[in-house]
Every structure is written in C-alpha cells, then in structure tokens.
Amino acid sequence: MILSFLISPGNAFAENAVLIQSTTSTKNSGFFQYILPLIKTETGLTANVVAVGTGAAIKNAEKCNGDLLIVHAQNRERAFVQAGFGSNRKNLMYNDFIIVGPKEDPSQIKSSQTIENALKRIATDKHKFASRGDDSGTNIKELELWELTGIKPHDFSGDWYLELGSGMGTTLNAGVELNAYVFTDRATWLSFKNKQNFQVLFEGDTHLFNQYGIISVNPSHCPRTKYNEANKIITWLTSARGQEAIKNFKLDDQQLFFPNVISE
C-alpha cells in the first residue's frame, strides 16, 4: 500500500502529462475538476494544473515551467506572445467581474450607473475595500478600473484599501469578515461557500468583461515543452464539442463561463 502511494503521484506526472499554468479564480470555481477528465477522454491526454495568479502563471510559463496557459489579462497575454514565449493564443471563454459586499450596501453602490461611479462612492465613503493585491488577473483588472476613476487606492493601503496578497477565495473570506467590498470574478463568487450576508452589489458595466485566453508555450523558447500535446488541447477546447463542454459547466444551475467560439 505504501508502495502504491509512493508510485501513484509519479503516475500523475507521467511522460505525456501536459502542465497547465492557470489562475486561482479558474481553479476555485471547480472548472478544472470538471474539464480535465473530459480532456482525458476526448484527447487521451492527461493534464495537471498549477493555479496561481495570472502574473505568476505567465512568469512560470516564461521560465518553461508549463506547457499551456489559461489566464485572463489580455494585454499581458499579447505581450507574452510578442516576446516569443508563447504561440497560438486563442480566446477561450469569458465571464464577468462583479463587486460584492454586505447586503446593506453601506456606500450605496447598487444605484451607481458606472463602475467608476461605484468605486468613487466607496473611496469617498472610505468604506473598507478588500483587494487581492497579488498581481493576479483580477487584481490587474481592478487596478485598471481604479485608474479610470483617477483615485490612487495605494495611497490608502492599510487604511480603507486592504491589500490581502492572497487568492480570490481567501480575499472573499476576509471581505466577509471585515464587512468590506470585494472585486471578484463571477465564477469564484458563485462557487464561494462562505457568503453569509454578502451579495452582488454591482454588475453589468462593459468594463467588467473578463476574457480568458489560452496560449501554448513557444517550443523555440522552451525546446522541451509539450507543444503538440498542448495544441491538441487548445484545438479540442476551441472546437464545437469543447466549447459545448465549457457551456455545460454549471454550478447551482448557473453557467459560470461563456465559450467564445460558439457565442461569436
């Protein structure tokens, strides 16, 4: 038994296993638990996932630690491909970002028309706002939105703007504890189990669009990368069957990700 225990983790990293570098928000939603077995039956390929922030996932892939990237920060993704680290970038799926908070909505962001306005109300009110602060795709997006408002939240770091330096789930936990507003992707929110009195308070602005891209690591930069296997997975995920599978991933009857190819 001990022997089988020692051997089995080795099997998970068998020769043909593809290493996917992806994000905590994708993993926390349960998406990979759902899609990896499907990839296995459809393509015969075993894939393993390392879930970190988008920034770290891209850096890991630059260091050739990974064969495939599934992340959400389009500018960084394009830069990654342009620098020669990646090739074959495709839009995979999307969902949206939302702001959640205590249902009393202390800064009254629910009635704001735009995301700039919602953030401005929180800042004016100096109400607590829990940020990932970890250079993840969600964090990058959140900071881009603050830039639209002209407010520099870092000037208030540790005051009302709290940078957790943690994954999405941990940041949501902290937000619930501290009664703070949290900027999150919808998939993580839907699968989050500790909502207590928290609700979605702002959604629907076009700025909140959350695009996921899929990129294979460039073999001319990383000669040992499993380029063919990675591309096989990209081909399947962006095929009609793969996109259908993404569409069918549901939690509590809610669709978490919207496939790009089908919807376009």
Partner 1 sequence: MIISFDQDLFEILLLSMKINFISLMIACILGLPFGSALAVLRFPVRKTIIAISNALMSLPPVVVGLIVYLYLSRSGPLGWLELLYTPTAMIVAQVILITPIIISLTCQIIEDLQEDYREYFSSLVMPPQKAIKAYLYDARYSLVTVVLAGFGRAISEVGAVIIVGGNIDHLTRVMTTSISLETSKGNLALALALGIILLTISLSVNFLAAFFKNSAKRKAYV
Q: What is the CA radius of gyration of the chain?
A: 19
**Which of 164, 215, 222, 230 touches partner 1 (CB under 8 A)?**
164
Q: Which is nearer to partner 1, 101 or 259 (CB)?
A: 101
Query: CB-based contacts of 259: which residues, under 8 Å, 6+ apart?
Result: 92, 93, 242, 243, 244, 246, 247
* Least spacing, CB of residue 163 vs partner 1, in Å: 4
**Residue 104 in the binding site for partner 1 (CB under 8 A):** no
**Residue 102 in the binding site for partner 1 (CB under 8 A):** no
**Residue 26 in the binding site for partner 1 (CB under 8 A):** no
* Least spacing, CB of residue 110 vs partner 1, in Å: 22
Is the Cα dihedral 79, 82, 88, 91 positive or negative? positive
**Residue 165 in the binding site for partner 1 (CB under 8 A):** yes
Position of tokens 């990646």? 86
Distance from the first to the final alpha carbon of the chain: 51
Q: In this structure, what DSSP letter does residue 218 have?
A: P
| For helices 115-125 and 137-149, angle between their N-to-C axes, nearest 10 degrees | 80
- As a whole number of angstroms, the distance between CA 31 and CA 29 comes to 5
**Which of 66, 101, 102, 133 touches partner 1 (CB under 8 A)?**
133
Question: Looking at 90-98, 116-124, 133-141, 185-193, which segment touches partner 1 (CB under 8 A)?
Answer: 133-141
**Residue 135 in the binding site for partner 1 (CB under 8 A):** yes
For binding to partner 1 (CB under 8 A), which residues are involved? 52-53, 55-56, 58-60, 133-135, 157-159, 162-166, 170, 174, 177-178, 196
